[in-house]
Structure 1
Amino acid sequence: MKKSFLPLLLAFILVLSGCVNTKSKVGNEEKSNEGNKSANTSKPAIEILGMSTSEDDMNIVRDQLIKNGFDVKLNIQPDYGSFTAQKDAGNFDLALSSWTTVTGNPDYAVRALFKTGGDNSIMSDEEVDKLIDQAATETPDQFTGTYKKFEDRLVFDKAYIVPLYNSFKAQGVNKDIVNADTVRLAKSRAVAWETIDFNDQSKRDKDPLIVQQAIGTLTSLDPIKGNDGSINTLNTNMYVRLVNLTDDDVVTSDGSLSLNHSIADGNSDYYFLLRDDINFAKINDKKAVDSGERVGADDVVFSLNRAKDKDSVPDHRTYSLHEHIKDAEVVTDLSQLDSVKQSGGNGTIREALENGLDAKIKELVADKNDANNKEGKYQVVKVTTTEPFPQVLNYLAHQSAGIVSKKQVESINTYDVASFDPAKDIPYGDQNTVTEGDQYNNHLYASGPYILSYKNDYEAVFYKNPAYMKGTNFEPRISQVTVRFIENPDSSLSALRNGEIYLFNGVPETKYDLVEGDGKLVLQKNKSNAVSYLLFNTSNREVAKSEDLRKAVLYSINQEEFINFYQGNKMKASSTVSPLVQTGNELVADSAKVKEYLAKYQDSKK
């Protein structure tokens, strides 16, 4: 996504004879990782890495580079599966990449991708780091100028990436079976299953809702151990969070663990009033049952503390999203809510948390089992940030901030993190424990509307959490959701049109007309936070060493050609923050600049 379009950095790989090759072979030619000079010409050689599903984009980039004096090789791979190994081996000059800001805030659009040490970053630039951290402390009316400086540095001054376009978000719905009005298409967050309903409501407990996703190998069902297209939607529906995002990226308590939330004056303390009508679900005999354990403040504190601690689990992939959390604690002193003012000075925290409640706050309790909202007994959690950081709320809406069971996770994760052995240690959320076969031993505890029962190579089966907000508007409508693993978009569209799936999130722009022309389907379309771009190799190629060479590539790219190819269903982008912050920057193709920078590069090689 991630989130969403998947909050996701795509770099792609070449696997030969079952292992990573430290040399790249394209067509009948071979060149080493150090080679940027073709054996047959003085033109700089550029190798572009991508998947077959992105071959159209690769061809457009190739043609534009060739026209501007480059010798281009395409390294087209059939799937996503092993991209990390090839990327780590450095077998590319440019990797066709994509990112979706699934939290609706610009910090997420840059921190993991471009900050030194970021979860998905392969670059290091002190000025970029400084600007990212500065913007994080600022409010929207302040950070526009800072993000402009960031974008200037990232793209136009140093040419670390080449922006291609901003995408729309579209999904096809079988309106003959599913009530399309109940299907949300949010700008950022993943598809929420709990609101979806059949036209014939008598089917709720008899028929599954059948949806699709491309990737069947799941990174982890522990929400902090993955942030990619394999699990973003699944974990979003399996774990409740302190807050959510509306379809237009506004932070809300609706449908979350919080009845209300409020920011304290100073923008460093955040208060959350918890609801008491969610229990964890577990799996018995492949069916969802109520575990009898309430989701409460101790689980929230445990979940957030492990989310921010990079050493809490092996292979922690989301800690940088939560590094601004200094502390999470249970508030039991009611007078604190009366003495602390809301941000901006408009009343007390207590007044904000009591807004719209049927029963006002009479008592704050430490034990989750003592909470009784109808009697005015509540739990409150306070989150404190390392510095003023309003964007923390967007991160708390991300799937990686999903609330897990303290009791259950601690009972599973008994290994020593420092000496973790994947050959014998089984961590919470390991996909093998939910995969049919000898290793199946489902230990999941789900705080969200659905829980994964089992999966295989073909599909994953989820069941409704029987103890999730019962009797409210957020209780799941449909009892079973089946997720079919269909990697190819054309195959997914065919399955939608044939009635094999009822919802296809991610309809390609070139296929909109097929959905719109099918009488039983409806196309839902919205602007998205998804940006496609070219990522330069920053370690072992000439493009890593030469800023001039990178800028020559940058100014070879004409975004209008992508927009025309996609029949107007793409938008211009200057970086991954383009859908979120209007910086005023624009990449304009300039052949004169290409010649200038190529000449400088060639002179430096003499």
Structure 2
Amino acid sequence: MLGKKKWMSSLAVLLTGALFVTGCASNANSNQGNQDTRKTMTIAYSDGGQTLDPAEASDLTSDTMTMNAYDQLVTYGVKTVDGNQKADTEDIKPMLASEWKVSADGKTYTFILRDAKFHSGNPVDAESVVYSMNHVKNSQNGSFMYQMASIKKVTAKDDKTVVIELNRPNHMFLQMIGMYTFSIIDGKTVKTKPKDYLKTNTAGSGPYKVDSWDPASQAVLSANTSYWQGAPKISKVTMKFIKEPSNRVMLLNKGDVDLAIEIPPKDVDSIKKNAKLNVTSTPSNRILYFAFNEKVKPFDNAKVRQAINYAIPYDQLVHDVMYDQAKQLKSSIPSSMPGYTEDGFVYKHDLNKAKQLLKEAGLPNGFTFDFTLGSGFDDWKDDAVLIQAELRKIGVTMNIKPMARPEFLTAVNQKTLTTYISKWTSFVNDPGYHLGLLLYSKGSSNAFSYNNAQVDKLWEQAEIEKDKQKREALYKQMQVLINADAPWVYLYEYNRVVGSKKEVKGYITYPDECIRFFPLSK
């Protein structure tokens, strides 16, 4: 999933009943000629992470460390959008697999491995791939990804050939196995270690090795000088864990860090005034929505949900809270996702329309409800206060109930909340993944009891539709139906904001928001 270089064109050859895809590791970001591997880089992060196990990683810091210590079978291409580099998730490129073929029925993938070595010196072989896939299958966090990828069986045909059989054709399969969850692990090494070895150690083949990791302070990663794509240009990356956003901004302005993530929107303009710094602000897959539990009255009534949608001060949220480092969300999927449509989206700030809908719902005098505010995000709190004030104008009283984040997450999963604000980032840039988790009635992250039989039917049709255009047409139909049902208030899409010294080059935006260190230079 490194997706950090421009690969030479893949060769597609049509064989009997199968499609062969091949590629070459040489690319524009490869380190050629005189390499300066003495340079170091310091990056400010907000928290210290929880694990180095790629199948268990579920926070940005853990994800980033594993992404840089491991390789996957395939990765994503890179494209330039508005002057910034970002992953092209529809362009699947070879990584540890130099080529692959797909059976005519779309259910069997045969991967040929390139010559590469793990950090231990052990070769990357087919048995390691089998071990790695079984590790995901048996993991606590990653197992649902294994199921969603539709994997039935993984077999080592010989040292360099791996066969992955699926339960059904899955158009997302290649994109999914490019994720850090499906990192290829040095099974020969791990089998000799204690059971929890991967939680605090890495066993990958990636461009960096994790030399030390203290969640309270920092992690240090050193370059893998024997990396199959060539030694990284940065010899050492130090990830500094700095919880307070203002301190990250201060260190960036002073030049004490080369790059800082999660820059507060209010600080973007001040950073831009520093002649020594750059700010990269790009659209992301991270969305914010106001969720209703449709099993709780009066939110079982679509007109009530629609009324709330019309009462939201969208411009204030984007301009005053997010300082224009976001834009209004106008569908159930983010605008950068294939198949996005605004068809059927009618909601804007219109209090008269909101009052009319409440009257039609039999609530001309409004009503009172509880809203749970999860802690940890300043914009959520500001949003809630602004929404509360607008709802009061249509006779609706919103009681804000603060809740600590751990309890909030538990309550969301248990579906005990009436209304709340939450964010979501789809690491797989595909409507099937996004809608299947959030708005399909059986989705594992459908925490607001949304259930529309027609939406479910369309999603199930799309899952087995091989033609991309026909599949996206089905997803667009879903979005129109969801817009009318209004299971959420669509609030906004976040920009991914990163501040860096001007001399830092090679930053690429990915849906998972992990920074790939390999293409970085300065």
- TM-score class, shorter-chain normalisation, is 0.5 to 0.7
Task: Give the distance between the partners of 2:70 and 2:167, measured in 1 at CA.
Answer: 25
1:282-308 CA distance string (max 9 Å, x none): xxxxxxxxx22112211112212332x
Structure 1 residue 451 and structure 2 residue 209: aligned? yes
Deviation for aligned residue 1:525: 3.7
Conserved in 2, the CA contact under 8 Å of 1:223 and 1:402? Answer: yes
Task: Give the distance between the partners of 1:195 and 1:463, measured in 2 at CA.
Answer: 19
1:428 equivalent in structure 2: 197
Task: Give the distance between the partners of 2:334 and 2:142, measured in 1 at CA.
Answer: 19
Task: Give the distance between the partners of 1:506 and 1:572, measured in 2 at CA.
Answer: 20
1:384 equivalent in structure 2: 165
- Residue 257 of structure 2: SS of its match in structure 1? coil
1:51-70 CA distance string (max 9 Å, x none): xxxxxxxxxxxxxxxxxxxx
Conserved in 2, the CA contact under 8 Å of 1:219 and 1:225? Answer: no
Task: Give the distance between the partners of 1:605 and 1:523, measured in 2 at CA.
Answer: 44
Equivalent pairs counted in the alignment come to 323
- Residue 223 of structure 1: SS of its match in structure 2? coil
Deviation for aligned residue 1:398: 0.7
With CA pairs under 8 Å and 6+ residues apart, which has the higher RCO, 1 or 2?
1
Conserved in 2, the CA contact under 8 Å of 1:253 and 1:261? Answer: no
Task: Give the distance between the partners of 2:122 and 2:335, measured in 1 at CA.
Answer: 43
1:479 equivalent in structure 2: 235
2:142 equivalent in structure 1: 318
Deviation for aligned residue 1:392: 0.9
Structure 1 residue 555 and structure 2 residue 348: aligned? no
529, 537, 552: which one pairs with 2:285? 529
Task: Give the distance between the partners of 2:272 and 2:101, measured in 1 at CA.
Answer: 43
2:58 equivalent in structure 1: 227
2:336 equivalent in structure 1: 579
Change (3 A) 1:516 1:563: same
2:221 equivalent in structure 1: 462
1:251 equivalent in structure 2: 91
Deviation for aligned residue 1:518: 1.7
Task: Give the distance between the partners of 2:332 and 2:294, measured in 1 at CA.
Answer: 18
Deviation for aligned residue 1:501: 0.9
1:211 equivalent in structure 2: 43
Change (3 A) 1:305 1:251: farther
Change (3 A) 1:412 1:549: farther
Deviation for aligned residue 1:538: 7.3
Change (3 A) 1:271 1:212: farther
2:118 equivalent in structure 1: 280
Structure 1 residue 301 and structure 2 residue 58: aligned? no
588, 591, 600: which one pairs with 2:351? 591
Code of the aligned partner of 2:88: D
Ranges in structure 1 where 5+ consecutive residues have no aligned partner: 5-193, 282-290, 332-365, 368-378, 415-426, 434-442
Task: Give the distance between the partners of 1:538 and 1:461, measured in 2 at CA.
Answer: 47
Code of the aligned partner of 2:332: S
Superposition map of 1:494-509 within 5 A: 494-509=250-265
Conserved in 2, the CA contact under 8 Å of 1:240 and 1:402? Answer: yes
Superposition map of 1:118-133 within 5 A: none
Task: Give the distance between the partners of 2:128 and 2:145, measured in 1 at CA.
Answer: 19
1:317-373 CA distance string (max 9 Å, x none): 122222111222223xxxxxxxxxxxxxxxxxxxxxxxxxxxxxxxxxx23xxxxxx
1:437 equivalent in structure 2: none
Structure 1 residue 405 and structure 2 residue 164: aligned? no
Change (3 A) 1:494 1:538: farther
- Residue 411 of structure 1: SS of its match in structure 2? coil
Per the normalisation by structure 1, the TM-score is: 0.48
Change (3 A) 1:304 1:591: same
Task: Give the distance between the partners of 2:227 and 2:88, measured in 1 at CA.
Answer: 25
Deviation for aligned residue 1:261: 3.2
- Residue 322 of structure 1: SS of its match in structure 2? helix
Task: Give the distance between the partners of 1:320 and 1:571, measured in 2 at CA.
Answer: 31
Deviation for aligned residue 1:235: 1.2
- Residue 253 of structure 1: SS of its match in structure 2? strand
Indicate the structure (1 or 2) with the bigger Cα radius of gyration: 1
Code of the aligned partner of 2:141: R
Deviation for aligned residue 1:397: 0.9
Per the normalisation by structure 2, the TM-score is: 0.55
99, 104, 118: which one pairs with 1:265? 104
Change (3 A) 1:567 1:230: closer
Conserved in 1, the CA contact under 8 Å of 2:211 and 2:222? Answer: yes
135, 156, 179: which one pairs with 1:330? 156
Ranges in structure 2 where 5+ consecutive residues have no aligned partner: 4-27, 78-86, 369-522
Superposition map of 1:508-527 within 5 A: 508-527=264-283
1:462-501 CA distance string (max 9 Å, x none): 11224321xx3x5322221100012233322221121111
Conserved in 2, the CA contact under 8 Å of 1:242 and 1:253? Answer: no
Conserved in 2, the CA contact under 8 Å of 1:463 and 1:479? Answer: yes
Conserved in 2, the CA contact under 8 Å of 1:210 and 1:481? Answer: yes
Code of the aligned partner of 1:534: F
1:114-173 CA distance string (max 9 Å, x none): xxxxxxxxxxxxxxxxxxxxxxxxxxxxxxxxxxxxxxxxxxxxxxxxxxxxxxxxxxxx
Task: Give the distance between the partners of 1:484 and 1:428, measured in 2 at CA.
Answer: 23
Deviation for aligned residue 1:196: 10
Task: Give the distance between the partners of 1:596 and 1:538, measured in 2 at CA.
Answer: 21
Change (3 A) 1:593 1:407: farther
Task: Give the distance between the partners of 2:268 and 2:108, measured in 1 at CA.
Answer: 45
Code of the aligned partner of 1:320: F
Q: CA RMSD in A?
A: 3.4
Task: Give the distance between the partners of 1:398 and 1:538, measured in 2 at CA.
Answer: 33
- Residue 112 of structure 2: SS of its match in structure 1? strand
Deviation for aligned residue 1:546: 6.4
1:417 equivalent in structure 2: none
Task: Give the distance between the partners of 2:128 and 2:352, measured in 1 at CA.
Answer: 59
1:496-534 CA distance string (max 9 Å, x none): 121111012343444333333222122334332222223
Code of the aligned partner of 1:591: L
- Residue 306 of structure 1: SS of its match in structure 2? helix
Deviation for aligned residue 1:596: 4.7
Task: Give the distance between the partners of 1:485 and 1:274, measured in 2 at CA.
Answer: 36
- Residue 564 of structure 1: SS of its match in structure 2? helix
Conserved in 1, the CA contact under 8 Å of 2:281 and 2:325? Answer: no
- Residue 191 of structure 2: SS of its match in structure 1? helix
- Residue 251 of structure 2: SS of its match in structure 1? helix
Structure number with the higher strand fraction is 2
- Residue 66 of structure 2: SS of its match in structure 1? helix
Task: Give the distance between the partners of 2:261 and 2:212, measured in 1 at CA.
Answer: 22
Code of the aligned partner of 2:220: V
Deviation for aligned residue 1:592: 4.0
Structure 1 residue 240 and structure 2 residue 240: aligned? no
